[in-house]
Amino acid sequence: MSSDAPGLASELADLAIEVAREAAALVRERRLGTVTVADTKTSAIDVVTEADRATEALVRDRILARRPDDAILGEEGDDVVGTSGVRWIVDPIDGTVNFLYGIPQYAVSLAAEVDGVVVAGVVVDVAKDVFYVARPGADAATVALRDDVPIRVGEPRPLDRRLVATGFSYVTEVKVVQAAAVGVLLPRIRDIRRLGSCALDLCHVAEGRLDAYVEEGVNLWDHAAGGLIARAAGARTETGPGAGGLTLLLCAPAHGFDDMRQATLEAGFWAE
């Protein structure tokens, strides 16, 4: 990135916050009415709602109106090829099944890359109207914020005192592998949580509400923004091959990452 990278990242963060705020308002409005399933993806239970599509269309329109040369990667629409070196990564509703059922744990996730590196990210907890942001701070280092207040990962804890979030694939064969791995890990930790939004789980690690998050079957749009927020708050993230054949993501505070990785490896989450 150029010497003006912090300035560009700040500009992209400002735009991301503005667009994510409008997108979250649309999601909130759509939740007040009847939620309609528009399609399915990997299986019959992996749903897309009309609200997902409408929200992504809004995000694309707002970004391209301001930055027409940027690229866009979104969960629900066709990719937009750009020429500026900036790419936006959009998940209009992360936690669609929660949204469908009215469970208040779903998010708008929007990240900006410059030359392949994520430099700004916003995750909006829509139901609670809480904004998590990663952006350059006063010294140009990336900072993590919750409603403009800095956040940090939790304090070090022994493995058996850690609260770990996970999730399950919509593909049955992968779900069987994941369930077995959770069964092995569970006796070694405090407890497991399955909250239903990758982006928000990463933000909860960033603010110390969770001690780790591990899930197979994630995509870039699920974790681009939340992963940057977590790293800016003192976490590490790693992606790699999961035991079920899909991409696995692990996030944990840097001070406890290595033993968390070893525990998930021994439990059977990783393909290696």
**What pLDDT does residue 230 have?**
99
In a shared domain, residues 217 and 234: yes
pLDDT at 211 over 80: yes
- The per-residue pLDDT for range 88-104, each reduced to its tens digit, is 999 999 999 999 999 99
The greatest distance separating any two alpha carbons of the chain, rounded to the nearest whole angstrom, comes to 52
- The per-residue pLDDT for range 136-176, each reduced to its tens digit, is 998 889 999 999 999 999 999 999 999 999 999 989 999 99
**What pLDDT does residue 33 have?**
73
Residue 85 pLDDT grade (very low, low, confident, very high; cuts 50, 70, 90): very high
In which residue are the tokens 């968390």 written? 260
In a shared domain, residues 118 and 238: no
Residue 206 pLDDT grade (very low, low, confident, very high; cuts 50, 70, 90): very high
In a shared domain, residues 249 and 117: no
pTM above 0.75, yes or no: yes
**What pLDDT does residue 82 have?**
95
In a shared domain, residues 100 and 136: yes
**What pLDDT does residue 262 have?**
98
The mean per-residue pLDDT over the stretch 190-215 comes to 98
Domain span at 240: 159-267
pLDDT at 8 over 50: yes
Residue 1 pLDDT grade (very low, low, confident, very high; cuts 50, 70, 90): very low
In a shared domain, residues 14 and 103: yes
CATH number of the domain enclosing 220: 3.40.190.80
Tokens at 38, concatenated: 């528009």
CATH number of the domain enclosing 59: 3.30.540.10
Of 118, 150, 182, which marks where a domain is finished? 150
- CA–CA gap between residue 99 and residue 93 (Å, rounded): 8
The mean per-residue pLDDT over the stretch 176-197 comes to 98
49 domain-assigned: yes
In a shared domain, residues 86 and 202: no
Tell which residue, 242, 234, 168, has the closest CA to residue 207.
234
108 domain-assigned: yes
Structural contact between residues 142 and 228, judged by C-beta atoms closer than 8 angstroms: yes
- Please tell me which residue, 42 or 13, carries the higher pLDDT value: 13
Residue 135 pLDDT grade (very low, low, confident, very high; cuts 50, 70, 90): very high
- CA–CA gap between residue 267 and residue 173 (Å, rounded): 17
Tell which residue, 50, 78, 43, has the closest CA to residue 64.
78
pLDDT at 2 over 70: no
Tokens at 271, concatenated: 């393909």
The mean per-residue pLDDT over the stretch 242-248 comes to 97
The mean per-residue pLDDT over the stretch 252-266 comes to 98
Number of domains in the chain: 2
Report the share of the chain in percent with pLDDT over 90. 84
In a shared domain, residues 109 and 128: yes
- CA–CA gap between residue 109 and residue 197 (Å, rounded): 10
172 domain-assigned: yes
134 three-state secondary structure: strand
Which of 25-29, 119-123, 229-233 is predicted least confidently? Answer: 25-29
**What pLDDT does residue 3 have?**
44
In a shared domain, residues 140 and 173: no
Give φ, ψ of 80 to 5 degrees.
Answer: -105, 125
pLDDT at 61 over 70: yes
Of 150, 170, 188, which marks where a domain is finished? 150
In a shared domain, residues 11 and 135: yes
In which residue are the tokens 């290696």 written? 272
84 domain-assigned: yes
- Please tell me which residue, 5 or 118, carries the higher pLDDT value: 118
In a shared domain, residues 116 and 196: no
Of 121, 150, 179, which marks where a domain is finished? 150
272 domain-assigned: no
- E-strand ranges in the chain read 37-40, 47-49, 71-74, 86-94, 107-114, 117-125, 130-136, 142-146, 149-150, 163-166, 191-193, 212-216, 235-241, 247-253
In a shared domain, residues 194 and 77: no
The mean per-residue pLDDT over the stretch 10-38 comes to 90
pLDDT at 75 over 50: yes
28 domain-assigned: yes
In a shared domain, residues 207 and 238: yes
**What pLDDT does residue 5 have?**
78
